[in-house]
Structure 1
Amino acid sequence: MRQGVLIPLIFGIAGVAVLVGLGKWQVERLAWKEGVLADIAAHISAEPVDLPEAVEPERDRYLPVAVTGRIGDAGLRVLVSQKQVGAGYRVISALETDGRRVLLDRGFVKVSADIPAPPAGEITVTGNLHWPDERLSSTPENDVGGNMWFARDIAQMADVLGTEPVLVVARALSVPEVGVSPLPVNTGGIPNDHLSYAITWFSLAAIWAAMTGVFIWRMRQAERGKT
């Protein structure tokens, strides 16, 4: 094999090997992430427990809880969109239980609907503790005065409603609310892009191999033209 062809061939093989290695690594990461998501899903759907006296965001994230108390009348509106439904709001209210006040994500109402009054008396909420991280650099600041929220900023909401910085996202209520659809915690919002990354790396490997082949073919054609 001529030296002129050998050099691009070596670069071609090396490039394909690197890209295939990156794709294989992403496949391994995909399997790992699917395992993590399965563990989280099992944790979310586990048997609910009482609200811990001392709540820790890292330890208690997604913890399933059952809390009995009274829902406050005030409701904060967090802008959200539902597939096949359109724009609407998450309704966040205070939940008073055993001398404590925590935040309660009651669920979804359509943007054209008023926030319904909560059920009267004590109810039992089954749901999960959550500390959502929804604020991006492009997210507008919440309009607290106009009750238009663009992210569930726990600390700010707790300050407005006079609660602990603890959010229970409702899965079910002992007395279902009319006009409010629960938006329970699930793994849908946890990114898992490893499959698309793997496809990208494997595609680049194929393109690199094809380009190397075309380059070498053109080099040999040019050499034959000179003879």
Structure 2
Amino acid sequence: MRRILFLLIFGVAGLAILVSLGVWQVQRLAWKQGVLAEIESRISAEPVGLPDTISADAEKYLPVTITGDMEPGEIHVLVSVKQVGAGYRIIQSFSTAERTILVDRGFIPTTAKDAERRNGPMTIIGNLHWPDEIDSYTPEPDIDDNIWFARDVPNLAAALGAEPVLLIARSETDPGITPLPVDTAGIPNDHLQYAITWFGLALVWAAMTGYFLWRNRAPSESDAT
């Protein structure tokens, strides 16, 4: 009897923990969906002019319109696009009447690395962004071949003589460049999978608990007969 009681307490406690973890992930899923909806709403809002004072926290994803000159001189950031393959993001400095910032013009295939592209006067619609793409495994830029491996905004700004402000274009700036606008696809949202995993483990735990309780009760019942 003491053995059965121990198994029952152990089984119920484990089941409660697993179910609570599943419920927590469901709550996190609702929270993340709200965050993503807010970001998507901000991304797709009506573009405004470039603010005088720009903060990475306050202006992240802000849609803006800028008019000025695309300055010569490119930085190529190595990326891979689904169903297309490897290529580069084109990063350049862009000068308005008041300031010079960075513009991510979009994607080119590796074969177009040395092609000529349109610079000079233009108007661009895009979103301000400060991508978090640097970790301990990110290689240093290959300066000789002009290949970077992440959009490191402060270092890109230093290299191109611009403010550490990056506008990711969603309007076309050159026929040979495909814009890669900001979206929420790269923001991880795995809470549903985690919830399913925890609830699945809870079902397995409950089944195992029931099995062990049945095995420990079966001999005593047979002995009584």
* Partner residue, 1:148: 147
Structure 1 residues 1-227: aligned runs within 5 Å: 2-173=1-172, 176-223=173-220
Which runs of no fewer than 5 residues in structure 1 stay unpaired?
Answer: none
- Contact 1:127/1:169 (<8 A) preserved: yes
- Contact 1:127/1:170 (<8 A) preserved: yes
Deviation at 1:143, TM superposition (A): 1.8
- Contact 1:77/1:92 (<8 A) preserved: yes
Runs of 4+ in structure 1 off by over 6 angstroms are none
Q: Judging changes above 3 Å, is the alpha-carbon distance between structure 1 residues 144 and 225 closer, same or farther for their aligned structure 2 residues?
A: farther
- The separation in 2 between residues aligned to 1:89 and 1:139, in whole angstroms, is 16
- The separation in 1 between residues aligned to 2:123 and 2:141, in whole angstroms, is 30
Decide which moves more: 196-205 or 140-149.
Answer: 140-149
Deviation at 1:224, TM superposition (A): 5.5
Question: Which amino acid in the other structure matches residue 26 of structure 1?
Answer: Q
Deviation at 1:90, TM superposition (A): 0.6
Deviation at 1:120, TM superposition (A): 4.3
TM-score normalized with structure 1 length: 0.93
- Contact 1:61/1:131 (<8 A) preserved: yes
- The separation in 2 between residues aligned to 1:60 and 1:153, in whole angstroms, is 17
Question: Which amino acid in the other structure matches residue 211 of structure 1?
Answer: M
TM-score normalized with structure 2 length: 0.93
- Contact 1:91/1:115 (<8 A) preserved: no
- Contact 2:106/2:178 (<8 A) preserved: yes
Decide which moves more: 212-221 or 83-92.
Answer: 212-221
List per-residue Cα deviations over 1:188-217 (Å, max 9, x = no partner): 111111111111111111111122122222
Which runs of no fewer than 5 residues in structure 2 stay unpaired?
Answer: none
Decide which moves more: 111-120 or 58-67.
Answer: 111-120
Secondary structure of the residue aligned to 2:178 is coil
Deviation at 1:101, TM superposition (A): 1.1
Deviation at 1:122, TM superposition (A): 1.3
Secondary structure of the residue aligned to 1:17 is helix
Q: Judging changes above 3 Å, is the alpha-carbon distance between structure 1 residues 163 and 219 closer, same or farther for their aligned structure 2 residues?
A: same
Secondary structure of the residue aligned to 2:33 is helix
List per-residue Cα deviations over 1:5-32 (Å, max 9, x = no partner): 1221121112111211111111111111
Instruction: Give the fraction of aligned pairs with identical amino acids, expressed as a percent.
Output: 54
Secondary structure of the residue aligned to 1:90 is strand
Secondary structure of the residue aligned to 1:159 is helix
- The separation in 1 between residues aligned to 2:183 and 2:137, in whole angstroms, is 24
- The separation in 2 between residues aligned to 1:188 and 1:84, in whole angstroms, is 15
Deviation at 1:127, TM superposition (A): 0.2
Deviation at 1:153, TM superposition (A): 0.5
